[in-house]
Structure 1
Amino acid sequence: MLDILRPKISAIITTNKGANAKLQDICNLLKTTIDHYDWVGFYFKNGDRRELKLGPYAGEPTDHALIPFGKGICGQVAESNKNFVVPDVQAQDNYIACSITVKAEIVVPLFVNGENIGQIDIDSNTPDPFTEADERFLEFVNSEVAKIL
């Protein structure tokens, strides 16, 4: 399934739409196509502040429009520059609950010219659904997104 989506992601990147519209299209595609992707969104570094700001997303609205570096899974990835796969969010001490239905989360940093400028964040209502294939796919998504930022 993930390999089938790669050309669709590349096609979205090459449309004549603006960057935010392309990001929204990617979020919508991933959420509607992959069963265990229940919330898909992008967070970006908020100027010179040590916080992330919510960008385009698909799924239930979230109160977490701003996340300080170091807080929650997203905030930890902002500091570590490494993928973070959480098979069971309840087992994490430093987790920001977005919804009681979320069971697992994966966050993959987004680099432009070697700098971590944001991330893609996926929440799942399925326990432990994310594999190495999800990580590689989301790294690909971010490499495509980096071309338009």
Structure 2
Amino acid sequence: MDFSKLHSNIISIIENKTLKRDEKLLAICELLNQNVPYYNWVGFYFANHETQTLHLGPYVGAPTDHTVIPFGKGICGQVAVSNNNFVVPDVSAQDNYIACSFTVKSEIVVPLFVNGINIGQIDIDSHEIDPFTSEDERFLEFVNQQVAQLF
């Protein structure tokens, strides 16, 4: 997958003065979902450091019951604690995985930093086993660097 063609689209969304922050986040989710064939669920979670929980923000994909996730629980909760990217090639092999749907086969979560603080993350589920590469990680880091400007 050549992600470079999506860079300018992400920047255009971020710089759009007519959209509110959540509208921009949703537009990014839609862009990724529509242009990366194996991105089947794309969403943002945001941290509440007082309650040690993540809260679902804008997303595209199947509805989820996981609107609040405690730090440390599931892939997203682990990223909230570790501050590191987490790529899961096969969710069935993960002990601390929160199943969203039987169609989800793999997941990638990349933390979102603002002023050095992990304020949330982008979470992507795929219906394919092991589709994510280092290029996905670098691209999603770029996306989050752009999104950080909104906070």
TM-score (norm 2): 0.97
1:61 equivalent among 54, 58, 63: 63
TM-score (norm 1): 0.99
**Matched residues, number:** 149
Asked if 1:134 corresponds to 2:130, the answer is no
| Code of the aligned partner of 1:93 | D
Paired residue for 1:28?
30
SS at match of 1:147: helix
Paired residue for 1:9?
10
The alpha carbon displacement at 1:96 in A equals 0.2
Question: Runs (4+) of structure 1 moved beyond 4 Å?
Answer: none
The alpha carbon displacement at 1:47 in A equals 5.4
Superposition RMSD on alpha carbons, in Å?
A: 0.7
Rounded Cα–Cα distance in structure 2 between residues aligned with 1:148 and 1:113: 12
SS at match of 1:7: helix
Q: CA-to-partner distance for each residue in 1:43-100, whole Å, 9 max, x for gaps?
A: 0012521000000000011000000000000000000000000000000000000000
SS at match of 2:95: coil
For structure 2, which runs of at least 5 residues remain unmatched after alignment?
none
Identity, % of aligned pairs? 64
